Amino acid sequence: MRLTVIGCTGSMSGPDAAASSYLVQAEGPGADGAERTWSVILDLGPGAMGQMLNHVDPRDIDAIAVSHLHADHMVDLIGMQVYRRWHPDGPLPPVDVVGTPGGMERTRAVGGDGEDEDYADVLTFRDLTPGTPFTVGPLTIDVFPAWHPVPAFGIRVTGPSDDDSARRVTLGYTGDTDTCEGIEQMADGLDLLLSEAAFQEDRDTVRGIHLTGRRAGALAAGGRVGRLVLTHIQPWTDKQRVADEAAEEFDGPIDLAVPGATWAI
Ligand SMILES: [Zn+2]
C-alpha cells in the first residue's frame, strides 16, 4: 500500500499546495483475476483535482472517500464530475464517492445545480457507517466518528504491504477532528497515521474542531502508531513549530506532508 500527498494545506489551498487530498494505492487482482493497481482518493479539496492529474488518471480511480463535507475537503468533486462527464474521448465510468451522508446534495450545492441533478452517470454517492467496512479491491475502508462541527469521519485503510502482499498493513487519516474516542480507536495499531494538525498550542484554544501538533503527537504516542505524518497545516502557521509540538509527545518518526511525498507501507 502506498500513500501519496496530492494536496495538504489546511482549510484552504496554499502557496505550496492544494487543499486536502491524498492518494492510496495497492496492487491486487482485478475483475479478470489479473493483478492491477487499485486507487482510492481521500478527500478532494480546492485545487486538488488539477494536482491529482500529476499522480493518477481519473479513469483509474476506484473510489473517492470523503472525510466530511466542509468545502476544503470536497469542492473539487465538481471538477471530477465535469472531467468524467465531458471528457472529449467520451464519458468516464461512474466512481464511488463514499463518506458522511448528504454528499450528493452538498456537491449539488457547490455546483449550483438544480434538484434534478444527481450525478448518477459519473459519481455514485454512498453513505458509510462506522462498523460497516467498505471494500475496494484489496483495500478495506473503515470509518470512525470524529469530533468536528459537522458530521465527520476518520478513515482507516487496510491493505497489502508494499513489499509483502501477504501482510496486511494499515493507514489512518484523521480528516478534521479534535481528540475523541472514535479517532483514538482508529489510530490504534496503525502503521502510518496521517494526522491533521491545524491548530497551534497556546494560540488556538477552541475545542471540538482540530488537533494541535501536540494532540496529534499524543494520538500517535504510546506505541499506537509506527509513523506520524502531519498535514492540514494552514498557510499562516509555522510547520516546524507544529512538528516540534508533536515530537514532544511522540518519539517515533514524524514527517510533514508536502505535495508529491509518497510512503510505501
Ligand atoms: Zn472541516
pLDDT given at position 116: 96
Cell of 231: 498535514
pLDDT tens by residue, the chain, 265 residues: 999 999 999 999 999 999 999 999 999 999 999 999 999 999 999 999 999 999 999 999 999 999 999 999 999 999 999 999 999 999 999 999 999 999 999 999 999 999 999 999 999 999 999 999 999 999 999 999 999 999 999 999 999 999 999 999 999 999 999 999 999 999 999 999 999 999 999 999 999 999 999 999 999 998 899 999 999 999 999 999 999 999 999 999 999 999 999 999 9
Strands 153-160 and 225-231: unpaired
Task: Give me ligand 1 centre to Cα 217, in Å.
Answer: 20
Task: Give me ligand 1 centre to Cα 183, in Å.
Answer: 15
Residue with cell 510512503: 263
Task: Give me ligand 1 centre to Cα 101, in Å.
Answer: 15
The H or E element spanning position 71 is helix 71-74
Task: Give me ligand 1 centre to Cα 31, in Å.
Answer: 36
116-147 as b/e: b if 16+ CB within 10 A: eeebeebbbbeebeeeeebebbbbebbbbbbb
Task: Give me ligand 1 centre to Cα 208, in Å.
Answer: 11
Task: Give me ligand 1 centre to Cα 222, in Å.
Answer: 27
Supply the range of the domain harboring residue 123: 2-264
Task: Give me ligand 1 centre to Cα 148, in Å.
Answer: 7
The CATH number of the domain where 117 resides is what? Answer: 3.60.15.10
Task: Give me ligand 1 centre to Cα 178, in Å.
Answer: 11
Which residues, in sequence order, are bridge partners of residue 53? none
Cell of 217: 503527537
Residues 6+ apart with CB under 8 A from 41: 6, 21, 22, 23, 24, 52, 56, 61, 63, 64, 65
Task: Give me ligand 1 centre to Cα 151, in Å.
Answer: 9
Q: Which of 146, 144, 147 has the alpha carbon at shortest distance from 206?
A: 147
pLDDT given at position 29: 96
Task: Give me ligand 1 centre to Cα 158, in Å.
Answer: 24
- CB–CB of 27/163 below 8 Å? no
How many structural domains does the chain have? 1
Task: Give me ligand 1 centre to Cα 233, in Å.
Answer: 12
Task: Give me ligand 1 centre to Cα 166, in Å.
Answer: 36
CB-facing half-sphere around the CA of 195: CA atoms within 13 A? 36
Task: Give me ligand 1 centre to Cα 256, in Å.
Answer: 19
Q: Give the C-alpha separation, 184 to 144, whole Å.
A: 9
Task: Give me ligand 1 centre to Cα 140, in Å.
Answer: 23
Q: Quote the DSSP letter at residue 114.
A: -
Task: Give me ligand 1 centre to Cα 72, in Å.
Answer: 7
pLDDT given at position 93: 96
Residue with cell 495497492: 26
CB burial class (10 A; 0-12, 13-18, 19+) of residue 172?
A: buried
